[in-house]
Structure 1
Amino acid sequence: MRRDLTEMTALPPASQSDCGDRRANVKDHALDRAAQATLAVATSGISPASICLAWLDWALHLAVAPGKHMDLALHAIQSGPQDLVAPTVDPRFRAPVWDRWPFCAYRDAFLHVQEWWQDATTGILGVERHHEQMVSFLARQMIDPFSPSNFVLTNPVVLEAAIYSGGANFTAGARNWIDDVETFFARSRGEPARQSPYVPGRNVAVTPGKIVWRNSVCELLQYSPSTGRVAREPLFIVPSWIMKYYILDLQPHNSLIRYLVGEGYTVFAISWRNPGAEARDLTLNDYLSQGLLEALAEARARCGGEAVHAVGYCLGGTLLAIAAAALARAGRAGELRTVTLLAAQTDFTEPGELGLFIDASELAALDALMWKQGFLDGAQMAAAFQMLNARDLVWSRMMSEYLLGHRSKPNDLMAWNADTTRMPYRMHSEYLTQFFLHNDLAEGRYCVDGRPVALSDIEQPMFVVGTERDHVSPWRSVYKLHLLTHNLLTFVLTAGGHNAGIVSEPGHPGRHYRRATRVPGASYRSRHAFFEESAVQEGSWWPCWTQWLRDQSSGVVDARTIVEELGDAPGAYVLEP
C-alpha cells in the first residue's frame, strides 16, 4: 500500500515558464539581500516603497481631478449628522449614551471626517485598484487613533463607569497596562510566556488517540474509535501549518474531531512540526510530498488500502487541492474518495484584506525579513492581522482593558490563537509569491515535480465550506472553485468567521448556513445568486456534512484498533513552542 512517491515523476518536466518561474533573470546579490534585510527588520517587514508608490499614484491622479476636488469641498461643507451612516453600525458608538450632547457632536464630527477621507481616497479615475485600497487603509489607520471612544473625557461610557465605580475602572485598567508591559518586555528578553490555562493534552486536544507515524515535517494521529462499527473509508484531516491542528480538537463539547469519531469514522489528522531556522529551505512541495502524501500513504496502509475522505482546512485545504490534482494527473485519483475544503482558497485574486500586503515590493521586503531570520514568526503574523483590523483588535481592546478595566476571560479559542507557529522562509515565500501575487494554482502554472497541475482534473465529489465573516479566506474567493472544476460540488456558507465558523458545533447559538450543490455539466451560478437563492438553514453545518459523508461512503466495517503506535495524542510536535 505504501507506494513509492516517485511514481508522480513519470513524465518529463515542463519548461520553467509553465511552472510560473519569474525569477530566473533576477540576480541574487548577497549585498542586496543584507541591505534589504536590514531595512525589513527596521520596518517590521513593511515596504516603504510600496506605501510611497501607492500614495504617489493617488496624489498625482487626485491633483488632476478638479471635479473630485469640488465634490470633496461640497462634502466637507454640506454633510450633516443626517447624512452619516447610522452610528449604531460602528460598534464603538452603539451604546445609547453616545446620543447625548456633547458626545453625539464628538461622534458625528469624527464620523464626518472618516467618511470624508473614505471619499477622498476612493473613486479617482486612473488610480490602480491595489494602490487605492492601500491608501484608503492607511487613511483609516491615521484617523482611528483620534476616535472620541479612545479618550476618557470624550467617551461617555468610560465616564459613566468611572462615576459608578468611583474610579475603580482606572485602577483596574492601570493593572492591566502594567501586566501587558511586563509581558512585552519578558518576551523581548526571550523569557517563556506565561502558562496558558488551556494546554494541549490536558484540557484541549484531549480526544483519545495515538501517534502512529512521524517524520521531520509532521506527525500522524489516529483517534481511538468510540463506536463498534465505522465507515469503510477513513477521514484524513490536513490542517494548516499556519495554525496548530487542535483548532479542530478543542474541548470535548466543540471538538470537530471528537464529533467525527462519535459519528462512526476512523479519523486521522496531521500535526505539523513548528519549524525553526533549521527548516529555512523547506519548500511547499516538501510539505506536499514529505507531509501530506507520506502521511496519506500511512493512513491508507493502516486501513487496508481504502480510499480516504480527505479534509483540508485553510492552507491545508489549498495543499489538499494540489494533492488531489497531482494524484489525478498521476492516475492515482482512487486514493481519495471525497475532498472537503474548509475555508480554503484555490483562486487568490480576491484574498480580502490580506491583499493589502501583497505586491512585488511588499513581498520583497517580507522575503528579506524571512531570509534574515530563516522563518516568519507567528507573532509577526499576528501583528499584521492586528493592523488589518486595528479598530477592533487594537483601539477597542485598549479602550476596554485600559479605560474600562475589563479583561477578556480566556477561552479555548483565544488560547489556541495565542499558540502561534512559524513558517519556513522558502515555503512561505513560495506560498505568497506563487499564490497571492501570481495566482499560479488557479491559472495552471503551479508545478508538482516539474509539471503543472490543474484543479479541473479533480473528479471526486467535493464539499466546500466558506464562512460569512472570513477575513483570511473570504467566502467569495472560496466560491471561485466553481470556475476551476466541473465535478459534483456542494458549497456551504456558514455563519461566523474563519475559525468560529468552522468550530460550529451542534447547539451553538446563532448558527445558520446556506447550501447548494453543483452537478457536473450544470451552468455556473454567481455568488450573488447563490446567496439570494439558497435558503437559510438554522443550526450547525456539521450534521449536514456528516450526512453527506455517509452518502459518499461505501458501507461500514468493524471499528479499527490502533497498532504500532509511538505514543499518546496529541503528540510531541503540538507542544513545541
Structure 2
Amino acid sequence: MASQNTSGPNGTSWFPSFGLEDMQHWTGVIGRAQQMMLEQMSEAMTAAEAGGQAVGGMPAMFGETLGKAGAPGDFWSQSLGLWQRFLTPQAAGEKPGETAAADKDRRFAAAQWRDNPLFDLIRQSYLLISDQMLKGVDSLAGLDARQREQLRFATQTFVDAMSPSNFAFTNPQVMEKAIETRGASLLKGLEHMLADLEKGQLTHTDTQAFEVGRNIAATPGKVIHETPLYQLIQYTPTTATVLDTPLIIFPPWINRFYILDLNPEKSFVRWAVEQGLTVFVVSWKSADESLAGTTMDDYVLNGMLNAIDTVRGALNVESVHTIGYCVAGTNMAALLAYLAATGTADKVKSATFFTAQVDFSRSGELQLFVDDQQLELIGQLAGDKGYLDGRYMALTFNLLRGRDLIWSYVVNNYLLGQDYPPFDLLFWNGDTTNLPQTWHRAYLQDLYRDNKLVQPGALAVGGVPIDLRSVRTPAYVQAGREDHIAPPDSVWKMTEHFAGPLRFVLAGSGHIAGVVNPPSAGKYQYWTNDRQAATLDAFIGGAQETKGSWWPDWIEWIRGHGAGETKSSGARTPGKGRLKAIEDAPGRYVRMR
C-alpha cells in the first residue's frame, strides 16, 4: 500500500506519511487500545459485583456482556475486517467514499476522519467497540426493564465520553487546527475551559451578546404584583380591544420565564398580546435560603392560585385562561383538582398544557435519575442551604443529550478554540435557576418515582385530597413528537385522567422548539384528530397533519371559550388599574442569581 499524506488547507502536510512499518505499529496500538477499554470495563463491573455494589448507580452485571453469548466472536471477526480494510481497502470490497450506515455520525462527518488511514481506523474501532458494548446491554439476562434502561443510559454516556473526537490527539480536525494556528487554537480553548471551570458550568453561547430586558425578554410590560415567591408581569396591549377573559402563563421554575419571550420574532408572549389577549406571566424567584422550605402547596396555592385571584380582582373578571409549561403544567393539574374539590373550578375557564406530565409511568429517561441514591445525593448537594444549585439540574438535562449539549461543545470550544456563537435559546438554557430542596425531592419521589398524582386521594393540596378524575375544566394539551424530557407517550396519559373536554395536539420537534414555533417561521407541523382515540398510536394513525405552527389552532380554541371583547384601556393597561406598576418588565426576579 502506498504511503498517504493528509494536507492542511494551504496544501502543507500536517501529519506524517504512512509506510508499512508505521501501519504495523499503529495496528498494534489501536488493537491494544481496544483491549484496554474492554478489560477496564469488565474489571470495574466484576469488582463491583464481587463487592455487592453498583457502578454509578447501575446494576453490577455489565462484565457478563464481554464474555458470553458469542458476542466476542462477532467483535473479533469485525475487528479483523477493520485491519483488512486498513491495509487493503479495495481488496475488502469497499468502493471509494463508501461508508457503512453506522458510520454516518456527525462527530465524524469531516473528511479528515476518512482521508487519513490512521484516523479512519480510530473512528471505525471506536464505533465497533461502542456498538459491542450497547449490544452487550441488550443481551444481558436477569434484568428488569428499568435496570436495563439504566445500564443502557450509563453505557451510552460512557461511550459518548470516550469518543476519539473528544480528545485532541485522536481528532484530526483539532490537530490540523492546532498546527495551522501554531497552537493558538489550543490556548484559546484552554482559556474557555478555565473560565467554565471557574463558573462551574459549560458555556454554550456568547453570553455578552444578550441582556435581559434589552434584546431578550423585552416585550413591553410592567410588574404589577410581587410576593416572596413570584412577580406578576402584565404586558402592554397592542390592540384597541382585548378578549374579556385574560391569560396567565405559568412557566416552569426550573428555568427562567422568558423561554416564551426570547425575541420579537420567537416570542409567544408578544404574539398572544397581538392576538388581543390580556397577558400575564409569572416570573418565579430563583430559590435561595428564604425559600428553602417551599413545597408543592406553596407553588400551587401561594403561587398559582394567588396569581389567579390577583388577576381576577384587578380586572374584575370571574375567570382566567391559564397555561402551564412542563413542571408548571404538572402543578397546574393539581390546582385544577383542588379547585374542583373546593367547588371553585369556575376560576379557570380553560387550561393549556405545554409538554406537561401528570402520569409518570412513561416519563422517559429522566426517570432513570430517580432512585434512593439519587434522592440522597440531592440532599447532599443542597446541604444546609436548603436549595439545589441550578447548575446541577442543567447538567442533568444536558446529560440526556450529552453528545449534542456537552461533547460537541467540548470539541468546538475547548479543543478547536472556536468563538461562541450568539444564540438566544442557548443563553436561556444556561441562565439557570435554583430549586427548593424540599419541593424538588418530593417532586421526584412522589411523582416520578411513586406516581401519586394520578392515584385518587394519594396527594393533598392545602390539606384537601385531590383527584384528577374530577377535573372538568376544558383543556388543550400540547406534546412534542421528539420530546426527550416529556415524551409524547407520557403527555398523552393526561387524556386518560381528566373528565372534561380535551383537545390533544402533537407538534413537530421537541420540548422547546415544539413549543416555541411562531407562525412566521413556517417550520415543522402539527397533528390533530377529532375522533376518539384510546392510545397515542391510534391518535397518530387517524391524525390530520397541518404544516407550520400550532399557535393559530390554539388561539382559535381559546376564542371558542369566550369571544367577548372589551376596550384595552384602564386596568387592561399595566399600572392603570387597581394594581400600580412596581417596575418595568421583565422585573428583578428574573435577574436574581
TM-score (norm 1): 0.82
- What is the alpha-carbon distance in structure 1 between the residues aligned to residue 148 and residue 248 of structure 2? 42
Partner secondary structure for residue 254 of structure 1: coil
Tell me if the contact between 1:207 and 1:223 (Cα under 8 Å) persists in the aligned partners.
yes
Conserved 8 A contact 1:57-1:128 = no
Partner of residue 160 from structure 2, selected from 105, 126, 144 = 144
Distance 1:122 1:549, change over 3 A: same
Matched, 1:112 2:128: yes
Aligned to 1:201: 213
Worse overlay, 294-303 or 535-544: 535-544
Corresponding position of 1:92: 107
Q: 2-side partners of 1:436 and 1:267: how far apart?
A: 31
Please say if residues 338 and 464 of structure 2, whose CA atoms lie closer than 8 Å, have aligned partners that are also in contact: no
Q: Deviations over 1:172-221 (max 9, x none)?
A: 34213213303432669xxxxx9743222222122111112111111111
Report the residue type matching 2:477 in the other structure: V
Q: Is the 8 A contact 1:371 1:425 kept in 2?
A: no
Counterparts of 2:133 and 2:408, CA distance in 1:
21
Cα deviation for residue 276 of structure 1 reads 0.6
When the two structures are aligned, how many residues end up with a matched partner? 513
Measured in 1, the distance between the counterparts of 2:381 and 2:484 equals 24
- CA distances 1:97-128 after superposition (whole Å, capped 9, x unpaired): 54445243332221111111111112433213
Equivalent residues of 1:220, 1:268 under 8 A apart: yes
Structure 2 counterpart of 1:92, which letter? R
In the alignment, the residues of structure 1 paired with residue 380 and residue 407 of structure 2 have an alpha-carbon distance, to the nearest angstrom, of 30
Moved more, 96-105 or 411-420: 96-105
Given that residues 196 and 415 in structure 1 are in contact (C-alpha distance below 8 angstroms), is that contact kept between their aligned partners in structure 2? no
Task: Note if contact 1:207-1:249 (Cα within 8 Å) is conserved in structure 2.
Answer: yes
- Per the alignment, do residues 180 and 155 of structure 1 end up closer, same or farther by CA in structure 2, a change over 3 Å counting? closer
Q: Is the 8 A contact 2:221 2:233 kept in 1?
A: yes
Higher relative contact order, structure no. (Cα contacts within 8 Å, ≥ 6 residues apart): 1
Tell me how far apart the structure 1 counterparts of residues 246 and 103 of structure 2 sit (CA, whole Å).
48
Range that drifts further, 556-565 or 341-350: 556-565
CA–CA separation in structure 2 for the residues paired with 1:369 and 1:186: 17
**Aligned partner of residue 441 in structure 1, secondary structure:** helix
Distance 1:131 1:228 in 2: 58
Residues 464-501 of structure 1 deviation map (CA, whole Å, 9 limit, x = unaligned): 11113322212221111122224322222222322222
| CA–CA separation in structure 2 for the residues paired with 1:153 and 1:426 | 45
Change (3 A) 1:533 1:378: same
Which residue of 448, 454, 474 maps to 1:436?
A: 448
**Which of 55, 59, 70 is 2:59 aligned to?**
55
1:111 and 1:265, CA in 2 relative to 1: closer, same or farther beyond 3 A? Answer: same
Name 2:475's counterpart in structure 1: 462
Choose the corresponding residue for 1:293, options 299, 305, 320. 305
Q: Give the stretch that moved more between structures: 99-108 or 477-486.
A: 99-108
Q: Does 1:237 align with 2:252?
A: no
Q: How far apart, CA to CA, are the structure 1 residues paired with 2:161 and 2:287?
A: 36
TM-score, length-scaled by structure 2: 0.80
- Range moving further from structure 2, 465-474 or 239-248: 465-474
- Distance in 2 of aligned mates of 1:109 and 1:57: 24
1:12 alignment partner in structure 2: none
- Partners in 2 of 1:96 and 1:536 — Cα distance? 38
The answer to whether structure 1 residue 529 and structure 2 residue 538 are counterparts is yes
Aligned residue number for residue 262 of structure 1: 274
Match of 1:126 among 103, 117, 142: 142
Segments of 5+ residues of structure 1 without an aligned counterpart are: 1-47, 189-193
* 1:107–1:148 CA contact under 8 A, matched in 2: yes
CA distance, structure 2, for counterparts of residue 487 and residue 78 of structure 1: 60
1:557 equivalent to 2:575? Answer: no
In 2, the alpha carbon distance for the partners of 1:385 and 1:213 equals 32
Question: 3-state SS of the aligned residue for 1:291?
Answer: helix
Are the equivalent residues in 2 in contact too, given 1:339–1:460 (CA < 8 A)? Answer: yes
Pick the aligned partner of 1:167 from 181, 186, 191: 181
Alignment match, 1:575 = 591
Rate the CA distance shift 1:468–1:95 in 2: closer, same or farther, 3 A.
Answer: farther
The equivalent residue for 1:39 is none
Query: Which position in structure 2 is the counterpart of 1:339?
Result: 351
Q: Which amino acid aligns with 1:117?
A: M
- DSSP-derived class of the 2:587 partner: coil
The residue type equivalent to 1:439 in the other structure is: N
C-alpha deviation, 1:241, in angstroms: 0.8
Whether 1:179 aligns to 2:192 is yes
Q: Deviations over 1:5-25 (max 9, x none)?
A: xxxxxxxxxxxxxxxxxxxxx
Query: Separation in 2 of the partners of 1:85 and 1:430?
Result: 47
- Equivalent positions of 1:255-404 (< 5 A) are 255-404=267-416
Deviations 1:409-457 (A, max 9, x none): 1222122122111111211111111111111102231211233312221
| Alpha-carbon distance in 2 for matches of 1:461, 1:89 | 46
Given that 1:87 and 1:94 are in contact with CA atoms closer than 8 Å, whether structure 2 keeps it comes out as no
SS at match of 2:242: strand
In terms of Rg, which structure is larger?
A: 2
When residues 254 and 306 of structure 1 are mapped into structure 2, their CA distance, relative to the original with a 3 A threshold, is same
Offset at 1:270? 0.7
From the superposition, tell whether residues 187 and 400 of structure 1 become closer, same or farther in structure 2 (CA, over 3 Å). closer
- Find the residue that maps to 1:372 and give its secondary structure: coil
Higher alpha-carbon deviation: 436-445 or 485-494: 485-494
CA distance in structure 2 between the partners assigned to 1:306 and 1:541 by the alignment: 28
Residues 323, 352 of structure 2: 8 Å contact kept: yes
Taking the aligned partners of 1:209 and 1:441, their CA distance within structure 2 comes to: 35
**One-letter amino acid matched to 1:87:** A
For 2:360, what is the secondary structure of its paired residue? coil
Contact 1:57-1:127 at 8 Å conserved across structures: no
Are the structure 2 counterparts of residues 533 and 110 from structure 1 closer, same or farther at C-alpha, using a change threshold of 3 Å? farther
Give the distance between the partners of 1:104 and 1:225, measured in 2 at CA.
59
Call closer, same or farther: CA 1:53–1:427 in 2, change over 3 Å.
closer
Structure 2 match to 1:507: 520
Distance in 2 separating the partners of 1:576 and 1:201? 13
Structure 2: distance between partners of 1:122 and 1:455: 37
C-alpha deviation, 1:244, in angstroms: 1.1
